Amino acid sequence: MTEREATLHTDAGDLELPVVEPTAGNAGLDIRRLRGELGYVTFDPGFANTAGTKSSITYVDGAAGELRHRGYRIEDLAEHCSFLEVAYLLLFGELPTRAQLEAWSLEIKHHTLLSEEMKRFFDAFPRSAHPMAILSSATNAISTFYETYYNPSDSEAVIESAKRLIAKMPTIAAWAYKKSIGQPYVYPRNDLDYVENFLHMMFALPVEETKIDPVVARALNVLLILHADHGQNCSTATVRSVGSARANLFASVAAGMNALWGPLHGGANQAVIEMLQEILDDPDATVESTIARAKDPNDPFRLMGFGHRVYRNYDPRAKVLRSFAHEVLERTSGTDPMLEVAQELEARALADPYFAERKLFPNVDFYSGIIFRALGFPPRMFTVLFAIGRLPGWIANWKEMIEDPDTRITRPRQVYVGIVDRPFVPIDRR
């Protein structure tokens, strides 16, 4: 088979661009020789048309609204797997056998405890601290206990770091929450599975026995799976970018968490609930006025939980969550007026030409918050839950980046448009 090429014609000359062939989705044009040979760079704000890497972890078909990890459909994984099973798939490329899954779960359990010294770290934050700030800081902080694992080229150390991150993240998240409500930190229990243990650390009190509701545990398991990876999104691209400087895995993941915190990314789940709450509470904020604000080019407000860089169709994760929200609500709190508002908002937006023309559909964050609420989580913890879910994806991408011989330090070019040269003016003459 002959290799495809594209020809670029410019005033500086022509260039044959080799085509990077995909197994699915868009092919790439390899422009690596462009600047050296023709003196041009590509201009692509937000890298919306730029592939910074080849990847075999996650495939998103934005037009069809499909998401697959290592070839498996997200709907199948959400229905049949545990979160740790999906984490194994993302990291190692294959679904684990029963024996492999047992060994993997056991290894994760061995690392759930935080060093006692970390307690003082949590104590130092103000009660009002946002748990995302604590989460990323603590992720950086725990790296100080594992300096011997810092070398990205040491594949065993990378796996050990990965296990510790996955094992300790629920403990960090739950302790960030306990800190915020002034309750004692609850230690992990290794007789529980990953999700049950997290729920135990979140909601247990030393003064009484707490039972974990299997409906809640199952629902959280599905939610974590739905968040586990999503290609080169902002936080994953950040993790790769920081790691490309050969920063260690802990430092790279902490950076990704900070990217996730933004309201246009993982912070959207908290913002959706705040938007829906406003519609419920404020007589001036109706479904109509919220949609009108989102459409107003002079108002920076956006309909939170709507739109996506890749999906030009219904986000398949939102589809799962939409029906799942009813199921969870029926089995937990019964009803939630917020779900009705969300459905009305969705129906009105989908029928509106502004959203139809721009192909804006509900994304994963539109319904996730309603379910997180029904499971008992406060809105400020929503993005933390997203982070626990996304962690295996970040690690899998970081590992793929480190192992890829094509990896170079991330260092995009710019098109300079500022003043070129000026005589220096001493301070007393400015």
- CB contact burial 150-161 (16+ within 10 A = b; e otherwise): bebeeeebbbbb
User: Which residues in 70-109 contact ligand CMC (CB under 6 A)?
Assistant: none
CB of 264 to ligand CMC, least distance (A): 4
Look at the alpha carbons of 258, 259, 265, 266 in this order and tell me if their dihedral is positive or negative.
negative
User: Which residues in 121-160 contact ligand CMC (CB under 6 A)?
Assistant: none
Instruction: Kindly report the backbone phi and psi dihedral angles of residue 13, in degrees, each rounded to the nearest multiple of 5, phi listed first.
Output: 130, 180
Nearer to ligand CMC, 25 or 93 (CB): 25
State the pairing for strand pair 28-29/13-20.
antiparallel
CB of 306 to ligand CMC, least distance (A): 4
CB of 366 to ligand CMC, least distance (A): 7
Residues 6+ apart with CB under 8 A from 231: 55, 57, 58, 59, 60, 310
Picking from 52, 106, 110, the residue whose alpha carbon sits closest to that of residue 84 is 106
* Whether residue 213 lies in the annotated active site: no
Nearer to ligand CMC, 103 or 264 (CB): 264
Choices 12-20, 49-57, 260-268, 370-378; region in contact with ligand CMC by CB under 6 A: 260-268
DSSP character string of 76-139: HHHHH--HHHHHHHHHHSSPPPHHHHHHHHHHHHTT-PPPTTHHHHHHTS-TT--HHHHHHHHH
CA atoms within a 13 Å half-sphere pointing along the CA-CB vector of 161: 32
Q: Sheet of 28-29: strands edge to edge? A: 5-10, 13-20, 28-29
CB of 22 to ligand CMC, least distance (A): 21
The beta-carbon contacts of 289-295 under 8 Å, at least 24 apart in sequence, are 290/345, 291/345, 291/348, 291/349, 291/352, 294/349, 294/354, 295/352, 295/354
Instruction: Kindly report the backbone phi and psi dihedral angles of residue 94, in degrees, each rounded to the nearest multiple of 5, phi listed first.
Output: -130, 150
* Whether residue 308 lies in the annotated active site: yes
Which DSSP helix (H) or strand (E) runs through 370?
Answer: helix 364-374
CB of 307 to ligand CMC, least distance (A): 2
Q: Tell me the residue type at 416.
A: Y
Classify residue 362 by its DSSP letter.
B
Q: Which two tokens stand for residue 326?
A: 């009813």
Identified catalytic residue from 227, 308, 315, 336:
308
User: Which residues in 342-371 contact ligand CMC (CB under 6 A)?
Assistant: 358, 360, 363-365
Site map 189..218 versus ligand CMC, x via CB under 6 A: ------------------------------
Q: How many residues bind ligand CMC (CB under 6 A)?
A: 20
User: Which residues in 267-326 contact ligand CMC (CB under 6 A)?
Assistant: 268, 294, 302-309
The answer to whether residue 387 forms part of the interface with ligand CMC (CB under 6 A) is: no
Identified catalytic residue from 365, 404, 406, 428:
365
Among 265, 319, 373, 399, binds ligand CMC (CB under 6 A): 265
The answer to whether residue 233 forms part of the interface with ligand CMC (CB under 6 A) is: yes
- Indicate the residue whose CB is closest to ligand CMC: 307
CB of 45 to ligand CMC, least distance (A): 9
The answer to whether residue 242 forms part of the interface with ligand CMC (CB under 6 A) is: no
CB of 263 to ligand CMC, least distance (A): 7
**Residues acting as catalytic residues:** 308, 365
Q: Which residues bind ligand CMC (CB under 6 A)?
A: 46, 233, 264-266, 268, 294, 302-309, 358, 360, 363-365
